[in-house]
Chain A
C-alpha cells in the first residue's frame, strides 16, 4: 500500500534521510523549503516528523538527570583524598 501524493521532489525516503538536518537547521534555504512543502503535502511524512521530534523531547526529558547530591559529595571526598593539598 504505497502512499500517494502530489509532491514528487524530494521523495519520502529523501525526506526521512534529511530530517535531522531539517530539525537542526542545517539545510540550505532551498532544500529546507522543498522539505517543508513536502511535509505540508504528505501526511505520513508529517506524522513521522512529529514522532521524530517527540522522541527527541522524551529522550531529553528522561536523560536530563541531575547528579545526585550523594554522588557529588562522594566525588569531592574522593578527589580531596587523591589530590595533595598545598
Chain B
C-alpha cells in the first residue's frame, strides 16, 4: 500500500493508524464524520438515532481497520460500514424497508405515441418563494424518509454527497445499472411529490 498512500491521504492515515498512531484516527474522523453523519441523518430522520449509527460506524472502523485491504477506496469501505450500522439500527427499530410504493406514471403518456398527455407546469421559479422554500425542506425530508431504504441511501450518497454511480454501486453491493434505475425512480418520486406540494395539492 506504500506506493498508493503517497497519492491518497486516506491510505496514509490508515497506515499510520495501523502503526498505532491514534491521531490518525482523529484525522480520519475529521475528514469523514460530517459525511457519515449526513448519510445517517438522511437515512434515519432522528438526530439521536443518526448519532448512534455514526458512533457504531466509527467504532467498527477502528476495530476493523486491519481488515481493510485497500481493494476499494477507503471512503467506499467506510460508507459500507456506516450503511450497515444504519441498517442495524433501523432493524432494531423495526423500520427496515418501511416502504411506500413508487408510482408508475404510465397514465401520463399516450399508449400509442408515447407522447406526454399529462399537464406539466413549470413550478421551478415558484419554488424560490422564501416561505414555500422553508416548507419544502420539511416535505423533502418526509418524502426522502418514505423511500425504501436502498433508494434513500442511493439518493443521499449520489445527489447529496455527490459520489459517482460506480462508487454508490460498490457501497451497496449492487450493479451500476440497478443503482441508476433506483436513483432515477427516487428522483422521479421526489419531483412528483414536490410538484404536487408546490401546486397546492399535497394529497
Chain A contacts to B: CB under 8 angstroms: 1-5, 11-14, 16-17, 19-21, 24, 26, 42, 44-45, 47-48, 50-56, 58-60, 62-68, 71-72, 74-76, 78-79, 82-83, 85-86
Q: Say yes or no for B122: interface residue by CB 8 A criterion.
A: yes
The 8 Å CB contact of A50, one of B51, B124, B133, B140, is B124
Question: What are 11 A-B contacts defined by CB distance under 8 Å?
Answer: A2-B117, A14-B114, A19-B184, A51-B195, A58-B133, A59-B160, A62-B141, A71-B51, A75-B29, A83-B25, A85-B22
Residues B51 and A74 in contact, CB atoms below 8 Å apart: yes
Interface centre among B25, B58, B116, B136 (most CB of A within 10 A): B116
Residues B109 and A12 in contact, CB atoms below 8 Å apart: yes
Interface of B is mostly: helix
Whose C-beta in chain B lies nearest to the C-beta of A11? Answer: B114
Given contacts A3-B117, A51-B122, A59-B190, contact A75 B51 (CB under 8 A): yes
Interface size on B, residues (CB 8 A): 54
Residues B58 and A13 in contact, CB atoms below 8 Å apart: no
CB distance from A48 to the nearest CB of B (A): 5
Given the complex of chains A and B, what is the CA–CA distance between A42 and B123 in angstroms? 17
Given the complex of chains A and B, what is the CA–CA distance between A12 and B113 in angstroms? 9
Residues A11 and B113 in contact, CB atoms below 8 Å apart: yes
Given contacts A47-B121, A62-B140, A82-B59, contact A56 B47 (CB under 8 A): no
Given the complex of chains A and B, what is the CA–CA distance between A21 and B192 in angstroms? 18
Whose C-beta in chain A lies nearest to the C-beta of B116? Answer: A12
Residues A83 and B62 in contact, CB atoms below 8 Å apart: yes
The 8 Å CB contact of A12, one of B20, B114, B136, B160, is B114
Interface positions, chain B 21-70, Cβ under 8 Å from A, are 22, 25, 29, 33-34, 37-38, 41-42, 47, 51, 54-55, 58-59, 62
Given the complex of chains A and B, what is the CA–CA distance between A24 and B180 in angstroms? 10
Given the complex of chains A and B, what is the CA–CA distance between A42 and B20 in angstroms? 62
